[in-house]
Amino acid sequence: MSTVLVLDTCVLLSNVLRKMLVHLAGEGCFALAWSDVIGDEWRRNAARLWHVSAQDIDAQWRALQEAFPEANRGDVSAYKEGLRRSDPKDWHVIAAARAVQASQADAEVAVVTRNIKDFNRSEMRSMGLALFDPDQLLVMCLQRYPQHIPALLGALPDFALAPGREREAPAVILKRERLFRFNRISACAA
């Protein structure tokens, strides 16, 4: 059974977290998914938060689309039908997950978000969708794919390197990204 993770905008906005999940997806641990709305939100917010030109952000988004051509589920508005208990502002994320289900009935589909409280767990379960915060997901990846974690942690300082910044230890980066459990467990497993 394949696993497909729908990445919420808040997850994509973290350069470190996005690069970590892209790395693991590239290793075949899971597939990634998003929608046009998630892409629009990411481009708009990334340009504003990072003070980067729209052209640069568009180029980054195109590179992500080229790396994962099956990820974008396009217009998923039809899959909002019947949603009631989750935050309406996040229905488009759940709709993207339902679009994955419609095209890959045998896939295990989950939403990855930092905004867990906005998603009604019972509503998600009733649709057969899992819900993870990034820390929980990475702990699960450590358990399922331990062979991929050393390379991920080795690449982490490069993922976090920004102009004018010194290289940092993985533990510092993981704490800043609020990946506390993954930091603790990966340090114990090393």
Distance of CA 3 to the CA centre of its chain: 13
The first and second tokens of residue 54, run together, are: 């729209």
Confidence (pTM): 0.94
> What are the distances in angstroms from CA 130 to CA 119, 127, 133, 184?
10, 9, 10, 24
Instruction: List beta partners, residue 31.
Output: 4
- What pLDDT score was predicted for residue 189? 59
* Mean pLDDT, residues 101-128: 96
- 129-180 pLDDT, tens digit per residue, is 999 999 999 999 999 999 999 999 999 999 998 877 889 999 999 999 999 9
Examine the pLDDT at 52 and tell me if it is beyond 90. no
185 burial (CB, 10 Å; 0-12 / 13-18 / 19+) is middle
Question: What integer is the mean pLDDT of 6-10?
Answer: 97
Mean pLDDT calculated for residue range 87-105: 96
Q: What is the pLDDT of residue 99?
A: 97
Quick one: pLDDT band at residue 190, thresholds 50, 70, 90? low
The pLDDT score that the predictor gives to residue 50 is 86
pLDDT tens readout for residues 21-39: 999 999 999 999 999 999 9
CA 161 to chain centroid: 19
Tokens representing residue 27 in the block: 């290793």
pLDDT of residue 187: 79
| Concatenated DSSP letters of 45-73 | HHHHHHT--HHHHHHHHHHHHHHSTTTB-
Domains observed in the chain: 3-133 (3.40.50.11490)
Instruction: Give residue-wise pLDDT tens across range 72-91.
Output: 999 999 999 999 999 999 99
Is residue 187 helix, strand or coil?
A: helix
